Amino acid sequence: MFTARDANGAVIATGDGVQRSDGSIVIKDTAVRIGDLMPTGVSLADGGKLVLWFAGDDRSTGLFAGRDTGGGEPVELRGLGRFNRPPFDIGFYYGRFEFDEPGGTHVVLWVYVGPASGVALSAPVSTGHGTLRWSAHPELRIAWISGVPAQETSKVTGVATDAAGAVVADTKDR
């Protein structure tokens, strides 16, 4: 039970349970997975493969990263951002996310929303890359690049291109 008191100590309100107000916490309390689990195929330093998913409700959702060990539901590693449904921002946003891979390299992710035909990341050194579309809102894409040495992760850049190959968004703008 919670009790609110005024400056003189008089009770002005009480509550019987925990009421959460932070949007990210509320999403986790009531969230259901929205769309498909998104496997990257990238191995993580702590074991398993990096997977991504969205969970939320009909108004907002969180993007989560986890470890898939092949034993059922993935283990959540961390939340990567909160999005409106449908997402309406355009461009690359929420910055860069990194995860440790075996051998001291990193996988780097960027989130893009918009009408681009393609999204790609590049780095001076890498071993693989890919793009995932959120099945519930295909205009939201997550681009990843793997095998990036730790000292090179700040050099990862990305572009979104239209059907003619013209750049419509760039991670350098972030």
Query: How many C-beta atoms lie closer than 10 Å to residue 60's C-beta?
Result: 16
Q: Where are the alpha helices (DSSP H) in the chain?
A: 23-30
Closest C-alpha to 99, from 35, 54, 162, 49: 49
- pLDDT at position 106: 96
Please list the pLDDT of the chain residue by residue as tens digits (174 residues).
566 778 788 877 676 655 544 454 555 566 788 888 999 999 999 899 999 999 998 888 889 999 998 888 899 998 988 888 777 778 887 668 999 999 999 999 999 998 899 999 999 999 999 999 988 888 889 999 999 999 999 999 999 999 999 999 988 865
Distance CA(111)–CA(43), nearest Å, equals 20
Residue 50: the pLDDT is 95
From 172, 168, 50, 55, select the one nearest 108 (Cα to Cα). 50
- The pTM for the full model equals 0.77
Give dist(CA 22, CA 111) in Å, integer. 22
Buried b (16+ CB within 10 A) or exposed e, 14-39: eeeeeeeeeeeebbbeebeebbeebe
Residue 60 tokens, joined? 């907002």
Coil, strand or helix at 103? helix
Read off φ and ψ for residue 151, nearest 5 degrees: -75, -5
Q: Identify the pLDDT of residue 174.
A: 56
What pLDDT score does 20 carry? 47
Would you say the C-alpha torsion 164, 166, 168, 170 has a positive or negative sign? positive
